[in-house]
Amino acid sequence: MPEKLENARVLIYSHDTFGLGHLRRCRAIAHALVERYKGLSVLILTGSPIIGRFDFKARVDFVRIPGVIKLHNGDYTSLGLHVDIEQTLAMRESIIRHTAEIFAPDLFIVDKEPLGLRGEVEPTLAMLKARGVPLVLGLRDVLDAPHLLRREWQDKGACSALKRYYQEIWVYGDQSMGNPLDGLSIPDEVTARIFYTGYLRRGLPGQVASRRLLDLPRPYLLVTPGGGGDGADMIDTVLCAYEACAEMPWHGLFVLGPFMPSEQQEAFRARAAELPHVTMITFDNHLESLMNDAAAVVAMGGYNTFCEILSFDKRALLVPRTEPREEQLIRAVRAQALGLVMLHDLREPGNGQRMLRSLQALPDLPLPSSRLSEHFMGGLDAVAERMQALTAVDDC
């Protein structure tokens, strides 16, 4: 039974310049909070262009701010508007601040970026702090290699923002997977505010399941690069293995991702059409259902996919990207060391043959549940408990 929590409000800022990860993490937290507390409302601020394709529970809603995307040279540009990036950022900052003023949250959770994109959240942080609203920074288990993170956060003034604004820092992971702030000069008073919540367990979306399950050959291997914007190399390598060997352990279900360029999708679909043991689709907003029914998973190793692999107890092969961030590689290396997954590094020689051998070895991999500690997946409960402690709400 949900606990009673009348008229309380949580505002979440979702950092969203690329892919689906930030939005899906914030959505999972929002759903867990409204399930736990009857009467609680959660509002998500996001620039994701496909947020409307996701289902949301009652008492969870979103405000869509103008989207931006990060270019290869590190600059940003407007995603959908033909206006100057500075104008887009000014609109985003204004919408965020005025939404927070009117919504009047009891708690503000900022995802990943302490000051938001190009500092756009700082006016809102200052305003809410003056009102006495608790401010929380939520971090995934791994941010980047320490030398890269140190340079990035110094340029953004992120470390000083931790001390200046945030009452708590929630790490959505287990300490056995390392400290995401390694390599930064963090004062002891800030370190004392860090809470490791455990990973965010994922579940199935009620009675709604993917329609793909109706006619999909079983058993199948789910191959997913998440949003797909940088997943072409992984898809190509796995597809090559299916082209080279007709006797694969499982039928292959490839979900390319909504952000994969259309010309790459078309090329992959043409190759898949020649393979009777491959099914290829672009996107499914009930990916959890597809993963739950899969015999095993091949993925790039983003945070959300990693949580789903562990939540649904799936044998998995991680094929992480290594640029521009090393986050996925670091996560995959640490997870393999704990016996939770297998790792395939695309940069090593003999890529094709190694992939084929890895896929053929997947059926013999131990299930993650045989290696998990008791609180490894307790993140959603911990987040709900920390929210209650910070807001001092009476849930009787």
What is the per-residue DSSP string for 176-245? GG--TTTTS---HHHHTTEEE---B-----TT---GGGGS--SSEEEEE-TT-TT-HHHHHHHHHHHHH-
Of 12, 17, 268, residue with least CA distance to 137: 12
**What is the reported pLDDT for 67?**
82
* pLDDT band with cut points at 50, 70 and 90 for residue 352: very high
In this prediction, residues 18-40 reach a mean pLDDT of 88
Say whether pLDDT at 71 is over 60: no
* pLDDT band with cut points at 50, 70 and 90 for residue 22: confident
Shared-domain flag, residues 189 and 257: no
In this prediction, residues 86-109 reach a mean pLDDT of 95
* pLDDT band with cut points at 50, 70 and 90 for residue 395: very low
Question: Are 243 and 273 contacting, i.e. CB atoms less than 8 angstroms apart?
Answer: no
Shared-domain flag, residues 55 and 182: yes
The two tokens of residue 208 are 């709604």
Shared-domain flag, residues 108 and 146: yes
In this prediction, residues 50-72 reach a mean pLDDT of 83
Shared-domain flag, residues 165 and 237: no
Let me know if residue 188 belongs to a domain: yes
Q: Among residues of the chain, what percentage have pLDDT more than 70?
A: 92
Higher-confidence position of 4 and 103: 103
Q: What is the pLDDT of residues 240-297, one digit of tens each?
A: 999 999 899 999 999 999 889 999 999 999 999 999 999 999 998 788 889 999 999 9
Shared-domain flag, residues 296 and 365: yes
Q: Is the peptide bond before 219 cis (omega within 30 degrees of 0)?
A: yes
Let me know if residue 124 belongs to a domain: yes
Let me know if residue 167 belongs to a domain: yes
Let me know if residue 205 belongs to a domain: no
Residues 68, 65: Cα–Cα separation, whole Å? 9
Say whether pLDDT at 220 is over 90: yes
Task: Looking at mean pLDDT, say which of 167-171, 214-218, 284-288 comes out highest.
Answer: 167-171
Amino acid identity of residue 345, one-letter, is D
Shared-domain flag, residues 157 and 38: yes
The two tokens of residue 18 are 């690329």
In this prediction, residues 361-383 reach a mean pLDDT of 96
Query: What's the structural domain count of the chain?
Result: 2
Let me know if residue 132 belongs to a domain: yes
Say whether pLDDT at 342 is over 60: yes
Q: What is the CATH number of the domain that holds 83?
A: 3.40.50.2000
Of 48, 112, 19, residue with least CA distance to 321: 19
Amino acid identity of residue 236, one-letter, is D
> How far is the CA of 85 from the CAs of 30, 50, 65, 66, 143, in angstroms?
30, 20, 13, 10, 25
Higher-confidence position of 203 and 385: 385
Say whether pLDDT at 374 is over 90: no
Q: Which of 17-21, 80-84, 233-237 has the lowest mean pLDDT?
A: 17-21
Write out the residue range of the structural domain in which residue 219 sits. 211-370
Say whether pLDDT at 396 is over 50: no
Q: How far is CA 387 from the centre of its chain?
A: 20
Place of tokens 């259309």: 262
**List of E strands, 190-271:** 194-196, 220-224, 251-255
* pLDDT band with cut points at 50, 70 and 90 for residue 74: low
Shared-domain flag, residues 39 and 153: yes
* pLDDT band with cut points at 50, 70 and 90 for residue 1: very low
Let me know if residue 396 belongs to a domain: no
Residues 195, 139: Cα–Cα separation, whole Å? 10
Residues 348, 335: Cα–Cα separation, whole Å? 19
**What is the reported pLDDT for 73?**
53
Question: Are 255 and 290 contacting, i.e. CB atoms less than 8 angstroms apart?
Answer: yes
In this prediction, residues 3-15 reach a mean pLDDT of 85
* pLDDT band with cut points at 50, 70 and 90 for residue 193: very high
Let me know if residue 253 belongs to a domain: yes
Say whether pLDDT at 55 is over 80: yes
Shared-domain flag, residues 173 and 215: no
Region of residue 332 (phi > 0: left; psi between -120 and 50: alpha; otherwise: beta): alpha
Q: Which of 63-67, 103-107, 274-278, 337-341 has the lowest mean pLDDT?
A: 63-67
**What is the reported pLDDT for 310?**
98
Q: Among residues of the chain, what percentage have pLDDT more than 90?
A: 77
Let me know if residue 114 belongs to a domain: yes
In this prediction, residues 217-233 reach a mean pLDDT of 93
Question: Are 40 and 34 contacting, i.e. CB atoms less than 8 angstroms apart?
Answer: yes
Shared-domain flag, residues 366 and 383: no
- Per the prediction, the chain carries an average pLDDT of 91
Shared-domain flag, residues 9 and 152: yes
Shared-domain flag, residues 269 and 360: yes
**What is the reported pLDDT for 229?**
87
Question: Considering the entire predicted model, what is its pTM?
Answer: 0.91
Shared-domain flag, residues 338 and 366: yes
Q: Which of 13-27, 92-106, 188-202 has the lowest mean pLDDT?
A: 13-27
**What is the reported pLDDT for 242?**
97
In this prediction, residues 166-173 reach a mean pLDDT of 98
In this prediction, residues 224-230 reach a mean pLDDT of 90
Say whether pLDDT at 101 is over 90: yes
